[in-house]
Amino acid sequence: MGMLRIAILLTAVALAGCSEGAPDIDVVDSYDMGTIVKGERAVADLAVRNLGDGPLTVAGVSTSCGCTTATLTPMVIPAGGEGRLHIEYDSTAHDSDLGRIDRSIFISSDDPDEDDVQIRFTVLVTTGAT
């Protein structure tokens, strides 16, 4: 009987250590970066929230094109916390970029329901001529 109690106690202790909740990423799925003149950069900072009960670990942030950079700080967001996604679009990267430009940012994380999220953004690139 004593061994059974010890086994139950050890199981309870082990399970208590594993009871940390799951992360839950929350970020907009689209964003309008406004209008810029060819040669300028469009810059935005977006909130990435963790609405879950456990830390959100971001494995990577990538973009659909080399004309766009995106960085997330921090890469581990505590439960109930918030990070900052810094986005820059460079209109000089492609000679042909004029008019409405559509690009995407991808965030890979350990969120059990949304391990890969996509944020689509648009920017209107003009010649500046009036």
Residue 89 within any structural domain of the chain: yes
pLDDT recorded at residue 2:
64
Residue 54 within any structural domain of the chain: yes
Residue 65 within any structural domain of the chain: yes
Q: Are strands 116-126 and 30-37 parallel, antiparallel or unpaired?
A: parallel
Distance CA 110, CA 12 (A): 26
Say which CATH number the domain at 62 has: 2.60.40.10
Residue 16 within any structural domain of the chain: no
Q: Which of 41, 33, 37, 38 is nearest to 95 (CA)?
A: 38
Task: Supply the pTM of this predicted model.
Answer: 0.82
Q: Which of 70, 98, 65 is nearest to 86 (CA)?
A: 70
pLDDT recorded at residue 8:
59
Domain tally, the chain: 1
Q: Give the tens place of pLDDT for each residue, 15-42.
A: 444 447 999 999 999 999 999 999 999 9
Region 76-103: mean pLDDT is 96
Average pLDDT, the chain: 90
Identify whether the C-beta of residue 36 lies closer than 8 Å to the C-beta of residue 123.
yes
pLDDT recorded at residue 9:
53
Q: Which of 87, 86, 89, 93 is nearest to 102 (CA)?
A: 89
Distance CA 56, CA 51 (A): 9
pLDDT recorded at residue 26:
98
Region 86-115: mean pLDDT is 96
Residue 6 within any structural domain of the chain: no
Residue 8 within any structural domain of the chain: no
Q: Quick check: 64 pLDDT over 90? A: yes
Range of the domain at 66: 21-126
